[in-house]
Amino acid sequence: MSNILSGAALDSAITQSLERLRSHFGAQAPEVAVVLGSGWAGAAAQLADAQSLSYAELSAFPQPKVEGHVAEIAVGRIGSQRVAMLRGRAHTYESNDCTGMAGAIRALKAWGVKVLVLTNASGSLRRDLPPGSLMLITDHINAPQRSPLVGVPGSDRFTDMSCAYDVELRQTALSVAQREQKLLGEGVYVWALGPQFETPAEIRMFAAWGADAVGMSTVPETILARHAGLRVMGMALMTNMAAGMQEEAITHEHTLHQAAASGAAAAEFLAQVLAQMGTLESLKN
């Protein structure tokens, strides 16, 4: 049974969280917020003059129960860019409710955040993107066909998803990768509900659909962010080859181990991209 807030209770929680964010971090919001997925936690160490706040003090924010996720938000600077980093997310497989990040995302939007960067750990469907590789998400496939906007009133629930992942932000990441001579793939991410890993037959189907990486997060957050009017960039860290593409069994412990092994490089690259975002005129208005 889900205990995720909705309706008037969610609105009240967003108001409380907004007031707490402003009182703790200041009325001026960071332009960019980042959701740190498995393997990306080290990015928070890149923040200068960082302050943190537990999700426990933010009633609209989730309480993650997945190993590797810390329930806090940290705010600081990377270069000239002020950034909020969310160290933990809600997954649909925890509650069977895909609206778990709705309160957090709407509170960030109300605070004044303009961009949401979503990171995750994924299984690769491409031999040229082995474990340790990074992939910039160009589009996604919502395999469960679940939406966090079901039941939301108003005509804006019919959100345009034709360009869900912002072109300028993607070009910014690609320019940093070229400058740093860093391999950065591009591709389509498919959301699988989980928590079980996919079967080899499902992976073959996803590949036929045009997917390049598979994971259990990100898509509901992208939908929520686009509905809220936030610009979105997504980046996947490959932690394993998808089912049927390798001999060894896939386990959560293995993905966490690979995420930890590759996380430092991923976090450093993310910091470089965030610093470059600080030069974008579109984020200064």
Cβ neighbours around 237 below 10 Å, total: 30
240 is catalytic: yes
List 217, 225, 233, 241, catalytic entry? 217
**Nearest one of 183, 280, 200 to 244, comparing CA atoms:** 200
List 59, 69, 122, 192, catalytic entry? 69
Write phi, then psi, for 240 (nearest 5 degrees).
-165, 160
**Nearest one of 15, 7, 59, 78 to 272, comparing CA atoms:** 78
216 is catalytic: yes
List 59, 147, 240, 262, catalytic entry? 240
217 is catalytic: yes
69 is catalytic: yes
List 101, 121, 143, 267, catalytic entry? 121
- Which one-letter amino acid corresponds to residue 241? M
54 is catalytic: no
91 is catalytic: yes
| Cα distance between residue 173 and residue 183, in whole Å | 11
List 31, 33, 38, 85, catalytic entry? 38
Residue 223 Cα distances to 29, 105, 157, 188, 203, angstroms: 22, 10, 10, 15, 23
48, 132 Cβ separation under 8 angstroms: no
Structure tokens at 40: 């990306």
59 is catalytic: no
| Cα distance between residue 178 and residue 200, in whole Å | 34
List 6, 24, 71, 93, catalytic entry? 93
93 is catalytic: yes
95 is catalytic: no
Write phi, then psi, for 99 (nearest 5 degrees).
-100, 15
List 41, 91, 133, 242, catalytic entry? 91
List 57, 71, 252, 265, catalytic entry? 252
Paired with 137 in beta bridges are 187
List 216, 228, 236, 243, catalytic entry? 216
List 41, 43, 55, 94, catalytic entry? 94
- Residues serving a catalytic function are 38, 69, 91, 93-94, 121, 216-217, 240, 252
